A and B are shown apart, each in its own frame.
Chain A
Amino acid sequence: MANSFNLKYAPHIGSFVNTVGKNPIDQIKYMADLGFTAIEDSGFKADYIPFDATKMGIGMCNQPNSVLDEIASTMTKLNMVMGTFVVTPHVWPPIDIVTSGKPEMQQVFIDKYKNGLEVAKRINAKFVTVTLDCYDRSLPIEMQTAHAIDALKRLSEFYDGSGVTMVLEPLSDHHELFLRTAVQSYLISRAVGSENCKILFDMYHLQKNEGRLLYHMDLVWDEIGYFQIGNEPGRTEPGTGEIDYKNVFKHIYQKSKETQKEFILGMEHFNSQDGVEGEKKLLESYLEADKFLKD
Chain B
Amino acid sequence: MEKNNFKLKYAPHFGSFKHNAGDDLLDQIKYASNLGFTAFEDNAFSGVPMPNLMGIGMLGQEPKYLDKIGSTLEELNMEMGTFVMGPISWPPNAAYTSGDTGLREQFLEKCRASVDVAKRLNGKYVTVVPDAADPSLPYEIQTANVIEALKRAADIFEPHDITMVLEPLSFPPQVYLKTSGQCFLLAKAVDSPSCKILFDMFHLQQNEGNLLKNLNLVWDEIGYFQIGDVPERHEPGTGEINHEILFQHIYKRAKSEDKEFIFGMEHYNSKEGKEGEQALLDSYLKIDKTL
Residues of A within 8 A of B230 (CB): 211-215
Residues of B within 8 A of A241 (CB): 212, 242, 245
Asked if A233 and B240 make an inter-chain contact with CB atoms under 8 angstroms apart, the answer reads no
**Given the complex of chains A and B, what is the CA–CA distance between A206 and B240 in angstroms?**
13
Residues of A within 8 A of B135 (CB): none
Beyond A215-B206, A215-B231, whether A208 also contacts B213 by CB under 8 A is yes
Interface size on A, residues (CB 8 A): 22
Residues of B within 8 A of A243 (CB): 240-242
Residues of B within 8 A of A215 (CB): 206, 230-231
Residue from the list B211, B238, B245 in contact with A240, Cβ < 8 A? B245
Residue from the list B208, B212, B231, B238 in contact with A242, Cβ < 8 A? B212
Asked if B210 and A212 make an inter-chain contact with CB atoms under 8 angstroms apart, the answer reads no
Q: Mark B177-217, 1 if CB is under 8 A from A, else 0.
A: 00000000000000000000000000011111111110000
Asked if B204 and A242 make an inter-chain contact with CB atoms under 8 angstroms apart, the answer reads no
**Given the complex of chains A and B, what is the CA–CA distance between A212 and B171 in angstroms?**
13
Asked if B212 and A233 make an inter-chain contact with CB atoms under 8 angstroms apart, the answer reads yes
Residue from the list A208, A211, A244 in contact with B206, Cβ < 8 A? A211
**With an 8 A cutoff between CB atoms, is A111 at the interface?**
no
Asked if B206 and A212 make an inter-chain contact with CB atoms under 8 angstroms apart, the answer reads yes
Closest-CB distance, B170 to chain A (whole angstroms)? 8
Q: Tell me the number of A-to-B contacts counted with CB atoms below 8 Å.
A: 69
**With an 8 A cutoff between CB atoms, is A74 at the interface?**
no
Asked if B231 and A212 make an inter-chain contact with CB atoms under 8 angstroms apart, the answer reads yes
Asked if B210 and A209 make an inter-chain contact with CB atoms under 8 angstroms apart, the answer reads yes
**With an 8 A cutoff between CB atoms, is B239 at the interface?**
yes
Interface size on B, residues (CB 8 A): 23
Asked if A214 and B240 make an inter-chain contact with CB atoms under 8 angstroms apart, the answer reads yes
**With an 8 A cutoff between CB atoms, is A207 at the interface?**
yes
Which of A207, A209, A239 is the most central at the interface, judged by chain B CB atoms within 10 Å of its CB? A207
Nearest neighbor of A210 in chain B, beta-carbon distance: B209
Residue from the list A206, A211, A239, A245 in contact with B211, Cβ < 8 A? A211
Nearest neighbor of B213 in chain A, beta-carbon distance: A233
Residues of A within 8 A of B170 (CB): 212
Asked if B207 and A211 make an inter-chain contact with CB atoms under 8 angstroms apart, the answer reads yes
- The residues in A between 243 and 291 inclusive whose CB is less than 8 angstroms from any CB of B are 243-245, 247-248
**With an 8 A cutoff between CB atoms, is B246 at the interface?**
yes
**With an 8 A cutoff between CB atoms, is A232 at the interface?**
yes
**With an 8 A cutoff between CB atoms, is B237 at the interface?**
yes
Residues of B within 8 A of A231 (CB): 242
Residues of A within 8 A of B238 (CB): 247
**Given the complex of chains A and B, what is the CA–CA distance between A219 and B9 in angstroms?**
36
Asked if B242 and A214 make an inter-chain contact with CB atoms under 8 angstroms apart, the answer reads no
Nearest neighbor of B207 in chain A, beta-carbon distance: A211
Residues of A within 8 A of B242 (CB): 231, 239, 241-245
Closest-CB distance, B227 to chain A (whole angstroms)? 13
Asked if B239 and A212 make an inter-chain contact with CB atoms under 8 angstroms apart, the answer reads no
**Given the complex of chains A and B, what is the CA–CA distance between A209 and B205 in angstroms?**
11
Residues of B within 8 A of A206 (CB): 209
Residues of A within 8 A of B208 (CB): 210-211
Residues of A within 8 A of B205 (CB): 211-212
Residues of A within 8 A of B246 (CB): 242
Residues of A within 8 A of B209 (CB): 206-213
Residue from the list B210, B237, B243, B245 in contact with A211, Cβ < 8 A? B210
Residues of A within 8 A of B229 (CB): 244
Residues of B within 8 A of A244 (CB): 229, 237, 239-243
Asked if A232 and B210 make an inter-chain contact with CB atoms under 8 angstroms apart, the answer reads yes
Residues of B within 8 A of A212 (CB): 170, 205-207, 209, 230-231
Residue from the list B210, B239, B245 in contact with A207, Cβ < 8 A? B210
Closest-CB distance, A181 to chain B (whole angstroms)? 10
**Given the complex of chains A and B, what is the CA–CA distance between A147 and B207 in angstroms?**
28
Beyond A214-B230, A215-B231, A242-B245, whether A248 also contacts B213 by CB under 8 A is no
Closest-CB distance, A251 to chain B (whole angstroms)? 8
Closest-CB distance, B172 to chain A (whole angstroms)? 15
Partner-B contacts on A (CB < 8 A): 206-215, 231-233, 239-245, 247-248
Partner-A contacts on B (CB < 8 A): 170, 204-213, 229-231, 237-243, 245-246
11 A–B contacts, CB within 8 A, in A order: A208-B209, A209-B210, A211-B211, A212-B231, A213-B209, A214-B230, A214-B240, A243-B242, A244-B229, A247-B237, A247-B238
Q: Which 5 pairs of residues, A with B, have the shortest CB-CB distance?
A: A211-B209, A244-B242, A212-B206, A211-B205, A208-B210
